Amino acid sequence: MFRAALSGRVGRGVRALSATAVVAGTAGGAVAGAAPITHRAPAGGYEEVWVPSSMGPIKVQIQWAARGGSAALYLLDGMRARDDYNAWSHETNALAQYANDNVTLVMPVGGESSFYSDWMSPSNFNGQDVTYRWETFLTKELPDYLATRGVSRTDNGVLGLSMGGSAALTLAAYHRDQFTFAGSLSGYLNISAPGMREAIRVAMLDAGRFNVDSMWGPPWGQSWLRNDPFVFAPQLRGLSLYVSASSGLTGPYDHPQGVLDYYNTANGMALEALALANSRAFQVRLDTLGVPATYSFPAAGTHSWPYWEAELWKARPQILNALNAW
């Protein structure tokens, strides 16, 4: 939910790549002038593509598997997801981390406050003109496109932070034919807990003036329960799972220098403490069910990108093993 200001990190890992190729395609083929469609993934390289969807064309940043492999890792953004780039590509060195691995990184752009869900209606607080259909996009429209480029429909992982953390588990739980790995970093995994629905409502108003009732309807409705990892936890059995959250105490990457920095750090401390409480409750839930997962609960760390970058690196061996993508 919180995006720390990390001005020195913008673009790291992206500028080191070759010039971006912008490709527009459809699930059935390419538009005139686009690169020919193949059924083997390119061996390395970076592209930005526009993929058709029921929401209109969606920009997707892609780093292709180093040796043309078919496995893919979807990286989901946080609540303040931007419309110009996925923050994993600019706020972290995710591209460099996986540059030599045989897995394609798939980074959808957009979806502020969406929870990457299929909404009931457009948000009526901010004049939204389309209904979010992110689950449909990520599990049907985007895989249809990627399949034309050599990416498997079944050998995929999904990992997200904050809003994207709970969304990653939701997508994996309900689309087991697509995902074999799911990871949550600082996610909100017990949204039925007292106060969580109210907290999500406030956070979505703050991030784009979105009305949560347009997403899942009134609190305690079935859509809320469907999207609560604590509730659907039994459906995660058999997946390779990675769950992480820090304590909320400041750590090695927190160096506030001005008033805004101190304000953001304080917010990051509170948000991370809440994420930790949610993730610990989720751990107990999985343990009770006998569902194994890998957990990482560092003693220090706030709700900010350097810590998620570090966790992505820690999760890398498990991800590559789950996807057989070394």
**Separation of alpha carbons 16 and 65, rounded Å:** 16
Domain membership flag for residue 197: yes
Domain membership flag for residue 39: no
pLDDT classification of 315: cutoffs 50, 70, 90: very high
Domain membership flag for residue 154: yes
Domain tally, the chain: 1
Catalogue the active-site residues. 162, 272, 303
**pTM, rounded to two decimals:** 0.88
Domain membership flag for residue 165: yes
pLDDT classification of 39: cutoffs 50, 70, 90: low
- Only one residue has tokens 């940043």, namely 61
Range of the domain at 49: 44-323
**Per residue in 129-156, pLDDT tens?**
999 999 999 999 999 999 999 999 999 9
CATH code of the domain in which 280 resides = 3.40.50.1820
* Mean pLDDT in residue range 266-290: 98
Domain membership flag for residue 217: yes
- Nearest Cα neighbor of 178 from 326, 86, 108, 74 is 74
Segments in the chain forming alpha helices (H): 87-91, 94-97, 134-136, 142-147, 163-174, 196-206, 212-216, 222-226, 229-232, 259-289, 305-323
